[in-house]
Amino acid sequence: MQKYDVIGVGMGPGAVFMAYEMIKIDKSKKVLLIEQGKRVENRNCPIEKIGKCVKCKPFCNITSGFSGAGAFSDGKLSLYNEEDDDIYVGGNLHKYIGVEQTKRLIDYTDKVYLSFGADNKLEGTQYKNEVKEIKDRAKKECLNLIDIPIRHLGTEKAHDVYKKIENYLEENNIDLMFETVVEDLIIEDNTIKGVKIRPSNAKEGDTTVVYGEKVVAAVGRKGANWLSDMCIKHNIKTEPGVVDIGVRYELPDEVMKKINTYMYEGKFIGRPGPFKDKVRTFCQNPSGFVAAEVYDNNLTLVNGHSYKDKKSTNTNLALLVSHKFKHPFDKPIDYGRNIAKNLNELGAGNIVVQRLGDIYRGKRTWEKELKTNKVEPTLKSAVAGDITFALGYRTMTDILQFIRQVDKVVEGFANPENLLYAPEIKFYSNKVEIDNNFETSVKNLYSIGDGGGMTRGLMMASCSGVQMARILEQK
């Protein structure tokens, strides 16, 4: 059997940008990417047509396939401010390669997106004075408001851009293997030798082998669970990770008008009492739609996106609490999964939605109440109920306190008719220990992107791929 120079597991932005950069550096390298989902042009989410999640088999089309979670994402590429000494959004890449190198990588990767048709317009750069005024008010409420330029692809545009990249990779002899699961890693003498694969619809254990000199795990949040299992099975070193647990919050565009206009996405970060956990807003979608997505073990999680053309009258955003556990508990993924499971059961397999006012009143929300609610839910499959049955006291308190804080900066943020959808959970595997070359404790096995806990956004995941290709070239 043919041996590859590099095998990438997954075809999210991390792996895709690694392959792109490998073509630029050295076309003679034999590179294979393996993805359990479909080609980007074959990915469809039936929820658009039939209004409810049918849990696509064998894999959710929102989270799997060429360009990974990027294909149906809102396509907000978070850039940076030259004058900031830190990189605030999208993960910890800069902790491995430094802030300056990360900024240069973002510049480079942004240009690549532009060359494949991303919109020239940058959001969040025109209203410096107005933004400063909101930032100052936030500071008084002990909230940090991060403002950085954003390039917004939009969900439909993201598809086009990634389709062009898919074509480019194939035209340049990158082997793309779709609808194929990497079931196991082949490791001998603490060195990676290849991977065991099977067709996505075949039964577990029905595997064949592909050999590779180097293997790069770029499995995203979708594969975080698998990666965790691999780390346990093969003694790959990890450190306890974080799990972000919270809700998707939906409120009228009118309330978010200033933030939407001046910044497109306002990233508030606070540490409300009494727990002082980090709480943040994330993935804000002006005139957007709340979405459901299915993860491993059939868990349905909530997310959100917005289109360039199709608009609602609501803004949605995630309110997330970062939880890090200490001895003796080291299973953040299991913790998040249990919460998601309980919430899914409360919603008969669907996302649960509740009005903020009902939480304050200590009651569930009923379907008929949603019908006359001022904020009309954009996720039609969501089931009215009571999220407080399943979200822990600590998470719930953090979220409610944070909403009150933001309300002092954005009037109407704590309106009782605003909607909370749950579970919104960001799984990262226990962080895979990697060195500055992204190499794990197993020789020639690397980890990039969201799955191993290094990044948590499109731009950073893409940058980690570019950097990976450059590292591999030097080895």
Ligand X SMILES: Cc1cc2nc3c(=O)[nH]c(=O)nc-3n(C[C@H](O)[C@H](O)[C@H](O)COP(=O)(O)OP(=O)(O)OC[C@H]3O[C@@H](n4cnc5c(N)ncnc54)[C@H](O)[C@@H]3O)c2cc1C
Binding site for ligand X (CB under 6 A): 9-15, 34-37, 62-65, 68-70, 72-76, 78, 90, 181-182, 218-223, 226, 283, 291, 293, 303, 305, 449-451, 456-459, 461
Comparison of 295 and 413: residue with beta carbon closer to ligand X: 295
Least Å distance between CB 14 and ligand X? 3
Q: In the chain, how long is the greatest CA-to-CA distance?
A: 65
Least Å distance between CB 360 and ligand X? 29
Least Å distance between CB 123 and ligand X? 11
Question: Cis omega before residue 46 (within 30°)?
Answer: no
Rounded to whole angstroms, the Cα distance separating 278 from 398 reads 9
CB 45 within 8 A of CB 72: yes
Least Å distance between CB 275 and ligand X? 26
Least Å distance between CB 416 and ligand X? 27
What ranges in 301-453 are assigned the alpha helix state H? 332-346, 356-361, 367-371, 393-407
Comparison of 220 and 336: residue with beta carbon closer to ligand X: 220
Comparison of 250 and 358: residue with beta carbon closer to ligand X: 250
Least Å distance between CB 394 and ligand X? 25
Report which of 190, 123, 174 is spatially closest to residue 6, judged by C-alpha positions.
174
Comparison of 70 and 270: residue with beta carbon closer to ligand X: 70
Geometric angle at alpha carbon 278, from 452 and 289, rounded to 5°: 75
- CA distances (Å), origin 444, targets 120, 169, 248, 255, 394: 38, 23, 39, 51, 41
Comparison of 182 and 231: residue with beta carbon closer to ligand X: 182
Comparison of 60 and 400: residue with beta carbon closer to ligand X: 60
What ranges in 224-331 are assigned the alpha helix state H? 224-234, 257-263
Q: Find tokens 């902790």 and name the residue.
A: 95
* Six token digits for residue 141: 């409420």
Comparison of 75 and 266: residue with beta carbon closer to ligand X: 75
φ/ψ (deg, to 5) at 42:
-100, 5
Least Å distance between CB 386 and ligand X? 25
Strand locations in 20-128 (E): 31-34, 76-78
In terms of Cβ atoms closer than 10 Å to its own Cβ (0-12, 13-18, 19+), residue 449 is buried
Least Å distance between CB 75 and ligand X? 6
Amino acid at 359: I
Least Å distance between CB 418 and ligand X? 20
Comparison of 33 and 391: residue with beta carbon closer to ligand X: 33
Work out whether strand 208-217 and strand 445-447 pair parallel, antiparallel, or are unpaired.
Answer: parallel
Rounded to whole angstroms, the Cα distance separating 147 from 143 reads 13
Comparison of 88 and 275: residue with beta carbon closer to ligand X: 88
Rounded to whole angstroms, the Cα distance separating 436 from 329 reads 28
Rounded to whole angstroms, the Cα distance separating 262 from 275 reads 32
CB nearest ligand X: which residue?
220
